[in-house]
Structure 1
């Protein structure tokens, strides 16, 4: 019996050791799996982030090069419109040439540091004027590539950038080499020498542009651009200019790829690299980012060491904790075992004791490890915050791990699943007025109210989620397991119209909406959001309250941009003749033509029209021995903030009419007569609730836009404000002198809605109409 007790004690110790070992093994296993998963996730995420970073970098490079090209072309347009440059291009062969002629081009100020030089070629004289050297005959010009360049040029702009290596000659007759990109603007060719009668050549410095490529290139990572034949145009290493790399395998892959952008892994000189590429349609270039694989994993060594230290530290802590936990857990077991030992001795129940012990341990372990921690235990505010952040991350593609996304969506009761999803993006129209009209808290409440309306209306047909994104956007995600129902645009558009109507009814806020593409899975929801965001730009064309989708925008888009010179000539003729109606008609035509292009080309067309309009008005002022003070900088800098073509038209109308008004003194008397007749008509008809600017403009026989412009110029207030103030003044007189009710007075002064009159009166004077009447009686 004594030996049995000893064996039993040994067995008890063995159980205790097994318990400790089980905890240590379990802790080690959890730490090992967690560390491995974290390490691999970190490595994969690092590669994904690198690819994403490369894609963003390439997008920045494309935007930068497109920006340089657009502004270079605009600058070239300005040069062509410059009278001094124009005279250099076309003065006759026998005209007397002064050495000061070349100073006109030498004194040019370049708006971009990337512009290296400008040539002006005159076929009549056969001379080339350069912004960096003296005037010489084209056959003796230091840039030997100029002659074939203009020989191959066509009328108007060259189709793209022409890369060249040129040995330049400075003013001090010193030679230096430069890599340049040339843009040519020329006219029709002379049949005698097959050269244009005149041409302007703008040379862009590749070195200056490549500074940007060097800036955005990460350490040991290359970013460069090639043309369709594999010649390098831009590179972070300037010595690579015009080198042909089409023989490289990864370049062959990119050149043969039908997709405009993508990424893949490839070996370069035996070293694995991550290759990302994107295409610039305007430049006809493919931009490539090459990141050596080992540079991506460079930080993994530090991560590896850090994880090893953490693993050992946590394992050591786990051993200590395991000992105390095991001891604490085993303490009651020991007491039970002691009680059981007496029973074992008396009743020989070894089997039962062993069974009960392991059942107890199993229950203890289950009690420790079966605790379920869920997001459902969070507070309502925390759950709401997490819901919004998770939905926003899906839209903006900010999720770093999609593995547990379905579980999170279910736990947070987010009605978005792996089925087909569609993003509808709403934009608050006239956002500047929205911000000036409401406080921060009011704006927050209004966006919350709009989200509720979107949720209530859309839930009739779909599972949906809605959140406010940024200062002016509301994002609605529709979800359905039936893909076909989401492609039923009539149903979707009817829901959008219902939402727009409710928001206008309850909040008097106009919403524009854009429908993204269908997303087959959760990963593509961000793509649908990006498409919808891009479509919203086209409210510039379709106006406030529009519903935009692929069929409405892309199918009717004119891909070839061509500035409407003929319509511009007709417009400028109307401006010169001060023919307001024809001016508006031709302005509508030219804006309609510009609106047929892509959003970026719309902005380019509007910029060109603004530049040409300034030149026209400057000319009109010069004829009258006056100088204009038109400043286009603010307009051009805020061009992308214009919401509709109505705003664009209004700006040009104001520009033309104000210029015409200032220049033509005779029209001043006519304008005063118009204002006098307008005010008289308003005084006689202010009580008509249908009184509007259009009705008044028909009465005085001018357009409504012109009437608004001259009225505001003369009276220093808008026509609508004048009518409103007159009605309120009449209402005050009736409140002071009659016993009519507020409703009767509102009708008497031309308000069709007494509630609106009551609210507007209180907002204007700070008290209600009844309070005003009582206050007046007290004073009386």
Structure 2
């Protein structure tokens, strides 16, 4: 029973349009998301720059206010100290000589006068008068009079006076003092100390000391919005701290050393910096006029809170776009699903099979038909071809995909998993080819997949080459592998497909001679590799003699002569000849199992050449090393190293070592025992047993299998050697040491 042409064609067109709509909508969604992302990035950058500038401008305002306030305080302190110095009562105390002791009445007058000046200035925390000759302090505080520096309550000012050269160039000295009160309590306060000095030579003789409080300035600046969640450090031209303002306790001056250094090196005025898991916005400015610097750190979230809002808005907008795209995709997919299910129902009504069952039956039919595993009568064949869409109105060609290094693929994924890999290869090729033609793959049990290609064109060689190139690139996304493909430039009806396959298949194995991942034409390969191999002419003696001689040019010439005999022969004969040569070369080397396995698995002539050249190179390197050592006596360590490398070879023996190193076995054995105190056989057993004990503790494999892998050829000999060396059986050793 045949399906009508109108229904399926209309459904295919409907599905095509719906898929096209979905693709267009997805493209629009992606474009919108890209525009939103670009605009949000630009907005984010502009807003961040503006907010950073505003924060720096606010900090500069606070900086100017501090400079002005400190300047005004300096003027006030200087004016107050000058008045005290010129005051008749105070000057009498300040300039009294060491012999002129002040009586109680005079001292009381000075105390009252200093207290009067102190009360007249709210910003003056305290005032001291100091006379070195009298060794006397008079203050405006409760403890008004003190004779003797050692008893003065403010020992900080005593240290400054005694080391005055260090402080004399400063306008203010920022320090902390303990202030005594009449009730007996003391309070630590920060003050800015101004000293009006009277010098005699380099020694301070008299001083008027004014301690100013900056609490009002602190409070006014800390209450500004710019100091919210912030820390500011102001330093003078000497690097001394002028003022330290802090509305958070999580950061201090030590945290700002690194960002200040980075900004100085890069020439930036601000940067983002993370300290103890918290992100901060750090700015740094320098005043050339005063020589002052300020560094300010503010919590990033406080400064750039608006950026968080922008991020949220972008996330919401992107979510809306994504939701719209997802909704449209779901609606389109549901609509396509409805069309598919309607087609499935109609197909099942007309044929009695589900579509998946029909695809499986189609693949099974094609496999049997193309491989001529089943004979069909003409009428039956016409019906089957029409049933599976291979009618006479279309033309077909074949292309075979050959998987390189197939043995390696099966070792990696196993016999059971290899079908899934080939199934994936087939799907990728079919998906890539849809742009140019319809391809349907038939998976064979060997390393090939046959593709049936239906087309209305007379020649698709260029399109097939592009599809194969694209396939090789896409496969490498999930599996790095190489492939060979051969197409035939003949287009036939469905009935003639078995003839085309029979024509193509004998040449598939000759892809061995061509580089992978490039499309090869059947017409190029056909008849090129048909010469029978003349084994009588295949002489490897010259090559082996050249290897013994160690001359690289002679080796290359002899190898090329060997290959010329193989020119034009079938790939199977060519590979067999190279394998035979590999065995002969391995005997010269002494071992070479790894090379021989690689040679057997190699699927290209070029790769086989590389493997053999590696073997030649290793033989030459070994011979060169032997010549450098100059005699077997100096090569004992090399013999030990060789045993450690090749101990897994069951044929490793004193005789083989003698052949490898070019000396008699008896001579080598004698010098080996003289050097190491044990025979070659004992050392080989020792190395093998060490490897066995290591594997016993690392794996749960049977001891017998481990012994074979480590070079022991007989189980009885292994168990005897192990018990003699370890004093117990392998299983007892494993049980004892794995607890």
**TM-score (normalised: structure 1):** 0.33
TM superposition score normalised by structure 2: 0.35
Which structure: larger Rg? 2
